[in-house]
């Protein structure tokens, strides 16, 4: 047995919240990944779910050697934390239009706030019939163990975002 670090504690909360939503039928967990990179000594956890058929939402929690070392070395004054990334993957059978990008950007800023960085990246396989808008919401700060409530709130925002993406999808 090992002593869990901040990353482990936050991961358990995220996993529990999303699996509770899965058990209640609100979402369907589609993937879960838990990586340890021994070359860079990083940890990454990603859990993905669908609330509506048109999009997949993912929450990624990550930590690195500096944050792990800060926690395991009592003499260090740095507070250990994790980074959080939120992703949405919206798929369509026809190309996205410029107005759709703007609507998605405005919707994300309305839900997540204007201090968050929202990026959209379109992918399309040549010869394929599907277009993907990969939307990423990033934060300019670490999440610390005493901010676990923020993680739970992020999951609520993820649900609001998938609801709004479905509305936009249904209009197109």
Asked whether residue 87 is domain-assigned, the answer is yes
Q: What is the pLDDT of residue 1?
A: 43
Q: What is the pLDDT of residue 44?
A: 98
Residues 6+ apart with CB under 8 A from 105: 118, 120
Positions in the chain whose pLDDT score sits under 50: 1
Domain interval for residue 79:
6-170
Q: What is the pLDDT of residue 116?
A: 93
* Total count of domains within the chain: 1
Q: What is the pLDDT of residue 2?
A: 59
Q: What is the pLDDT of residue 42?
A: 95
Is residue 80 within 8 A of residue 70, CB to CB? The reply is yes
Q: What is the pLDDT of residue 78?
A: 81
Q: What is the pLDDT of residue 73?
A: 87
Distance of CA 30 to CAs 48, 67, 87, Å? 6, 29, 14
Asked whether residue 31 is domain-assigned, the answer is yes
Asked whether residue 1 is domain-assigned, the answer is no
Between 6-23 and 148-171, two packed helices, what is the crossing angle to 10 degrees?
Answer: 40
Asked whether residue 162 is domain-assigned, the answer is yes
């Amino acid at each position: 047995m090992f002593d869990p670090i901040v990353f482990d504690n936050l991961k358990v909360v995220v996993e529990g919240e999303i699996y509770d939503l899965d058990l209640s039928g609100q979402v369907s967990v589609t993937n879960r990944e838990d990586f340890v990179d021994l070359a860079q000594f990083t940890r990454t956890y990603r859990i993905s779910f669908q609330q509506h058929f048109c999009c997949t939402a993912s929450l990624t929690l990550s930590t690195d050697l500096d944050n792990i070392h800060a926690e395991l070395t009592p003499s260090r004054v740095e507070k250990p934390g994790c980074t959080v990334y939120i992703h949405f993957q919206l798929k369509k059978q026809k190309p996205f239009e410029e107005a759709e990008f703007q609507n998605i950007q405005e919707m994300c800023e309305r839900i997540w706030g204007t201090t968050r960085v929202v990026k959209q990246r379109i992918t399309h396989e040549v010869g394929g019939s599907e277009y993907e808008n990969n939307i990423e919401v990033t934060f300019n700060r670490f999440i610390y163990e005493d901010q676990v409530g923020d993680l739970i709130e992020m999951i609520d925002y993820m649900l609001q975002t998938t609801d709004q993406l479905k509305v936009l999808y249904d209009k197109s």
